């Protein structure tokens, strides 16, 4: 880590930008006012995630200038991340029809897949599967789901921030111990940008991330997982494992609402983490609990996949089964009147 000095600089940059964005949001009355669908009770400025966007995009330019990672992969993240951030920023300031947002999401996903070279062959339960162009199409759908589920899961103070930090640190450890140190740069840079924002977003939050930030994190984390797949199938599964709380809660909730016939594009607060936060009466216990699950349960399994030759798909199943049980316990996707 020859250029380690950049890390504290990035944290301070994100911290400062978030403070400026908070003043801007207060001045322009860009405020999340609590309503029946909210998980918060105090009017709070939103849009602070733009600090993450700007800081990380600058980090990518820094990495490109020093050739710390392949240029094509950096272009993939810059283009897709910027597009998603612009769409989210516009939605934070007004409203964009769902069909146009979705079109932009698929364009961003296609950009990632093009510059990343598609989706490589993956090993499932000991079998190598190469789906070719169909795999690339599935990867695009996966990226769109990743950015949307991250938006869905950004509903209580500090949760989306700490999820990104835990996942990025976990994979950075795997990369380091596996001799893939060049892959550490982007996750560590993202960790620093989110850490600066987290100072303002930790419960009780003084500013929210907004769609620009949450969608940006979703597409970038998804892009990092596709990048990792080219280094080894095990690293792709490691990302899915580390992001397991978000993947399981969001997917379980969506499926349950689809089966019930709900309008899934409408705002709701029926995710498991939202029920949990209401049960405990505050956000902090849930945010801390999710972080502990990441570090004490998901990280060891992730390391088992990347370092101990545990089959990636098997590790994924082991990691997800308790998370599904937690989703059931906290009634993820159930009608709100049931609680």
Look at residue 37 in the predicted model and tell me its pLDDT. Answer: 60
Look at residue 2 in the predicted model and tell me its pLDDT. Answer: 81
| Residue 157 falls inside a structural domain | yes
Q: Is 201 annotated as ligand-binding?
A: no
How does DSSP classify residue 125?
T
Separation of alpha carbons 159 and 281, rounded Å: 15
Look at residue 41 in the predicted model and tell me its pLDDT. Answer: 62
Q: Are 316 and 240 in contact (CB under 8 A)?
A: yes
Per the structure, the complete domain to which residue 149 belongs is given by 6-338
Which residue ranges in the chain fall short of pLDDT 70? 1, 35-41, 337-339
pTM for this prediction: 0.95
Q: Are 31 and 207 in contact (CB under 8 A)?
A: no
Helix/strand/coil for 263:
coil
Span 11-29, pLDDT tens digits: 999 999 999 999 999 988 8
Q: Is 157 annotated as ligand-binding?
A: no
Look at residue 338 in the predicted model and tell me its pLDDT. Answer: 45
Span 215-259, pLDDT tens digits: 999 999 999 999 999 999 999 999 999 999 999 999 999 999 999
Separation of alpha carbons 252 and 239, rounded Å: 19
Query: Tokens standing for 35?
Result: 């309503």
Whether cis (ω within 30° of 0) applies to the bond prior to 128 is no
Number of domains in the chain: 1
| Residue 169 falls inside a structural domain | yes
| Residue 1 falls inside a structural domain | no
Q: Are 312 and 237 in contact (CB under 8 A)?
A: yes
| Residue 171 falls inside a structural domain | yes
Nearest CA to 201 among 193, 191, 209? 209
Look at residue 95 in the predicted model and tell me its pLDDT. Answer: 77
């Amino acid at each position: 880590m020859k250029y380690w000095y950049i890390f504290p600089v990035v944290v301070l940059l994100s911290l400062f930008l978030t403070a400026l964005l908070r003043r801007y949001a207060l001045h322009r009355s860009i405020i999340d006012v609590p309503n029946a669908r909210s998980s918060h009770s105090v009017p709070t400025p939103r849009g602070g995630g733009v600090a993450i966007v700007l800081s990380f995009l600058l980090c990518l330019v820094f990495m490109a200038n020093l050739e710390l990672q392949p240029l094509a992969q950096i272009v993939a993240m810059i283009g897709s991340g910027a597009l998603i951030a612009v769409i989210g920023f516009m939605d934070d300031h007004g409203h964009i029809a769902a069909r146009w947002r979705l079109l932009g999401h698929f364009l961003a996903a296609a950009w990632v897949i093009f510059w990343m070279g598609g989706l490589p062959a993956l090993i499932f339960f000991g079998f190598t599967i190469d789906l070719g162009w169909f795999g690339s199409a599935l990867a695009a759908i996966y990226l769109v789901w990743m950015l949307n589920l991250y938006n869905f899961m950004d509903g209580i103070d500090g949760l989306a921030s700490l999820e990104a930090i835990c996942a990025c640190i976990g994979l950075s450890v795997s990369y380091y111990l596996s001799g893939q140190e060049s892959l550490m740069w982007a996750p560590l840079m993202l960790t620093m940008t989110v850490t600066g924002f987290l100072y303002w977003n930790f419960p009780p939050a003084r500013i929210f991330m907004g769609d620009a930030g949450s969608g940006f994190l979703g597409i970038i984390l998804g892009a990092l997982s596709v990048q990792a797949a080219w280094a080894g199938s095990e690293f792709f599964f490691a990302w899915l494992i580390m992001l397991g709380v978000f993947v399981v809660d969001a997917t379980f909730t969506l499926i349950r609402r689809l089966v019930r016939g709900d309008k899934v594009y409408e705002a709701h607060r029926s995710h498991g983490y939202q029920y949990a936060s209401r049960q405990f009466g505050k956000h902090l216990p849930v945010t801390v609990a999710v972080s502990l699950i990441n570090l004490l349960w998901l990280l060891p399994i992730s390391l088992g996949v990347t370092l101990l030759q545990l089959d990636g798909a098997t590790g994924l199943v082991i990691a997800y089964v308790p998370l599904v049980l937690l989703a059931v316990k906290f009634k993820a996707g159930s009608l709100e009147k049931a609680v």
